[in-house]
Amino acid sequence: MLSSFTSFKGLAETDLFTMFTPKRQLVGLDIGSSGIKLVQLKENRGRFILQKFGFKPLEPEVIVDGTVMDEGRVVSAIKELFEETNVKVKQVAVSISGHAVIIKKISLPPMPDEELEGQVRLAAEQYIPFDINEVNIDFSVLPSPEASSDGQGEMSIILVAAKKDKINELTELVKGAGLFPLVMDVDAFAIENMHGINYPVSQEDTTALVNIGASVMNINIVRGGTSLFTRDIPIGGNRYTEAIQRELGMSYEEAEETKKGERSAGSNQAAVITVIDSVNAEVSSEIARTIDYFKSTMADAEVQHVLLCGGGAQVKGLVAQLKDRMQADVEVANPFSEIDTSGSDFDQDALALLAPLAAVGVGLALRSVGDR
């Protein structure tokens, strides 16, 4: 699902670029709590080629739980990342997630296209817990299994609402770095785009796409290229770091390195394993609870695959815990599995190590100038 908001309409520079720039891939710019990821792709005869990839870590106090605390540092980090990767393209796709975004699947009676937008906006007032004037709304009509042969069945619609202040905040950050944001997406849908080109599966299989960021975990359950259910959960990789800090009296930097296995825990190794296993159980429970809820909402809702991405996907023991709990195929995503990386100047071993962090960025980099 290629989704974007209308928040950038009316920006003169954006409209001009859309009008006069030949259709080409945008640079995917994923601004997360732990760091900024950049992905630039090129399409050639139906195959995508990785041109540039970069990652710029952020200090833990710069973006806290998705809220930007130091705008200047974020802008500087974006500029530094573009300079280090030598990316000249200024048009980017960005995304948001968390409490500022609401995603709902709704049903409406069949109606002409010209009436649909107005009816969706009216329906949104029932489902959006914000003032309707404080959000930007977008939607996509899905293939509806309830549709009858005469086309009179209900229309299934994915409704997305994002708070304008959050969109404006992100827009100003990107513009402050001298860039032009042409597409605003949602993390969960960016992951879906990444999945679509890298993991061809049968139309009957259902996959839970789980993106474990530093402060938010996005879950998007898809089947046959259609999103069936989404949820954002305020838990992520920071939970491990904070637990190690608290239980072992480490600094944030020490706990972060210990979590990643970059620092020896010495005599505390057993305690570290216990802490990580405990948080793994918490994360696994949230994923399992979400999938169980999804199963309760529709018939034939078995989930065959769980695909993990984001920095939290690499935590030792998480895949094993999920396999035991879910009785499903669980793996860590490689968003470059069907992308040609041979021409990239990024070190291949380092690329493989950082690949799970690039999932949102790859999904964004699949967007083009002129996308809605």
**Which long-range contacts does 67-74 make (Cβ < 8 Å, 24+ apart)?**
68/169, 68/173, 71/172, 71/173, 71/176, 74/31, 74/36, 74/173
DSSP code per residue over 150-204 = TS-SPEEEEEEEEEHHHHHHHHHHHHHTT-EEEEEEEHHHHHHHHHHHH----TT
Q: How confident is the model at residue 98 (pLDDT cuts 50, 70, 90)?
A: confident
CB 358 within 8 A of CB 37: yes
> What is the model's pLDDT at position 345?
78
Check pLDDT > 90 for residue 22: no
Q: What number is the average pLDDT over the span 73-78?
A: 97
Q: How confident is the model at residue 207 (pLDDT cuts 50, 70, 90)?
A: very high
- Report yes or no on whether pTM surpasses 0.85: yes
Strand 180-186 with 91-96, pairing = parallel
> What is the model's pLDDT at position 312?
93
Check pLDDT > 70 for residue 144: no
Residues 6+ apart with CB under 8 A from 361: 28, 29, 30, 37, 38, 39, 53, 190, 335
Residue whose tokens read 């520079």: 13
Check pLDDT > 60 for residue 1: no
Q: Tell me the sheet residues that pair with 180.
A: 91
Q: What number is the average pLDDT over the span 169-180?
A: 96
- Continuous segment of H or E residues that includes residue 125: helix 113-127
Q: What is the pLDDT of residues 122-138, one digit of tens each?
A: 888 888 888 889 999 99
Name the nearest CA neighbour of 233 among 297, 288, 196. 288
**Amino acid (one-letter) located at 164:** K
Q: What is the pLDDT of residues 247-305, one digit of tens each?
A: 999 999 999 989 988 877 777 889 999 999 999 999 999 999 999 999 998 877 889 99
SS3 category, 284:
helix
Q: Taking the CB of residue 189, how many other CB atoms lie within 10 A of it? A: 28
d(CA 331, CA 56): 25
CA-to-CA dists, residue 249 to 43, 258, 271, 291, angstroms: 49, 12, 12, 35
Q: How confident is the model at residue 202 (pLDDT cuts 50, 70, 90)?
A: low
Residues 6+ apart with CB under 8 A from 298: 228
Check pLDDT > 70 for residue 55: yes
> What is the model's pLDDT at position 314?
92
Check pLDDT > 50 for residue 73: yes
Check pLDDT > 70 for residue 24: yes
Alpha-carbon torsion angle 335, 340, 342, 348, nearest 10: 10
DSSP class of 346: S
Q: What number is the average pLDDT over the span 71-82?
A: 97
Q: What is the pLDDT of residues 99-123, one digit of tens each?
A: 889 898 888 999 888 899 999 988 8
Residues 6+ apart with CB under 8 A from 256: 241
